[in-house]
């Protein structure tokens, strides 16, 4: 089923049957190289809006709401990186596409990208990981549960899943204090994104996210052997963009020395920082989105 949305004539939404339900997918553009995008753990496809709109004139950009999130929130499972990877292939099949010319993954989407290319190598020709997709550490601290781990990493993004908001203004107030969006241009971009982040009626606005999906996806991407094994099986160069500042606009998720160590392990890896961005704004802010677009254009040889 295809539904136009808003005033963007080049944008449409499709629904794809997958295990456990129906996956909602946004498509920007009608022709050109295929760019498949994968969003973060509590996010949705609109986090890639700036990137998708910038590429849509030259590419077809495809971004699902991952199972358990946003318009795909009613999917009942299974969860984990391999389930998401299977979904990405189902999206390509639904659009009668042999392969994506490039897959871009931000945060958890980077891990999904890694798993998809490793398990379906003929379907993903190139990868671009954006502050995600590589191990954050060699070993999880002993005794830490998946829920504790993700709360430590993403903080307010996880806390909001159990919250109810009276209005969109209340939701903006909740986020306004977050240091990641201190810059006016980043804050405006995030405000434009916010309506996609809530469902319900005034007085009961809430995030359409399955908490079980968040916990089990965390376990899959950070506490299992899925990603280490996938990294060993990648058949394409590993391009990585680093946000020099982290989720709270503080220390990065991936420090320079850790990335250098990972690069020594995976010789096909090439990483570079994107100046003046944090983990959120590297895709959601104008400056970060422009850097992602620039790298995508280079990889696709569209210059």
CATH of residue 150's domain is 3.40.50.1820
The pLDDT, as a whole number, for residue 4 is 35
CA distance 33 to 14: 19
Strand 11-18 relative to strand 269-273, pairing: unpaired
* pLDDT tens sequence for the chain (303 residues): 333 333 345 899 999 999 999 999 999 999 999 999 999 999 999 999 999 999 999 999 999 999 999 999 999 999 999 999 999 999 999 999 999 999 999 999 999 999 999 999 999 999 999 999 999 999 888 889 998 999 888 877 888 898 999 999 999 999 998 999 999 999 999 999 999 999 999 999 999 999 999 999 999 999 999 999 999 999 999 999 999 999 999 999 999 999 999 999 999 999 999 999 999 999 999 999 999 999 999 999 997
Query: What is the pLDDT, as a whole number, of residue 89?
Result: 99
CA-CA distance, 63 to 239, in Å (whole number)? 19
34-38: strand order across its sheet: 2-4, 11-18, 21-28, 60-64, 34-38, 102-106, 127-130, 238-242, 269-273
Please work out, in degrees rounded to the nearest 5, the angle formed at the alpha carbon of residue 25 by the alpha carbons of 73 and 130.
90
Whole-number pLDDT of residue 6:
37
Nearest to 228 by CA among 152, 107, 139: 139
* Whole-number pLDDT of residue 194: 95
* Residue 65: count of CB within 10 angstroms of its CB: 23
Number of folded domains that form the chain: 1
Q: What are phi and psi of 273, to 5 degrees?
A: -80, 155
Q: Give the tens place of pLDDT for each residue, 163-200.
A: 999 999 999 999 998 999 999 999 999 999 999 999 99
- Phi, psi dihedrals of residue 170, rounded to the nearest 5°: -65, -40
- Asked if residues 21 and 75 have their Cβ atoms less than 8 Å apart, the reply is yes
Owning domain of residue 18? 2-299
Reported pTM: 0.95
Burial class from Cβ neighbours inside 10 Å (0-12, 13-18, 19+) for residue 257 reads exposed
């Amino acid at each position: 089923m295809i539904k136009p949305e808003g005033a963007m004539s080049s944008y449409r939404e499709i629904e794809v049957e997958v295990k456990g339900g129906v996956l909602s997918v946004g498509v920007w553009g009608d022709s050109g190289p295929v760019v498949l995008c994968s969003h973060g753990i509590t996010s949705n496809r609109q986090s890639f809006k700036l990137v998708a709109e910038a590429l849509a004139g030259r590419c077809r950009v495809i971004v699902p709401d991952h199972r358990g999130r946003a318009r795909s929130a009613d999917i009942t499972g299974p969860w984990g990186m391999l389930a998401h990877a299977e979904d990405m292939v189902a999206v390509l099949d639904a659009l009668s596409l042999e392969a994506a010319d490039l897959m871009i993954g931000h945060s958890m989407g980077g891990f999904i990208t890694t798993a998809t290319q490793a398990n379906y190598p003929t379907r993903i020709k190139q990868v671009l990981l954006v502050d995600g997709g590589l191990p954050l550490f060699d070993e999880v601290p002993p005794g830490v549960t998946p829920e504790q781990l993700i709360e430590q990493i993403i903080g307010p993004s996880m806390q909001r899943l159990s919250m109810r908001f009276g209005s969109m203004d209340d939701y903006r107030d909740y986020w306004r204090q977050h240091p990641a969006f201190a810059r006016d241009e980043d804050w405006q971009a995030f405000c434009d994104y916010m309506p996609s982040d809530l469902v319900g009626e005034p007085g009961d606005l809430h995030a359409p996210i399955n908490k079980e999906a968040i916990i089990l996806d965390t376990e899959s991407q950070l506490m299992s052997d899925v990603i280490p094994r996938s990294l060993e099986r990648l058949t394409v160069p590993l391009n990585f963009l680093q946000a020099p500042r982290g989720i709270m606009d503080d220390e990065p998720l991936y420090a320079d020395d850790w990335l250098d160590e990972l690069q020594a392990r995976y010789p096909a890896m090439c990483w570079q920082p994107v100046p003046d961005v944090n983990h959120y704004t590297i895709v959601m802010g104008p400056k970060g989105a422009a850097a992602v677009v620039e790298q995508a254009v280079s990889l696709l040889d569209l210059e």
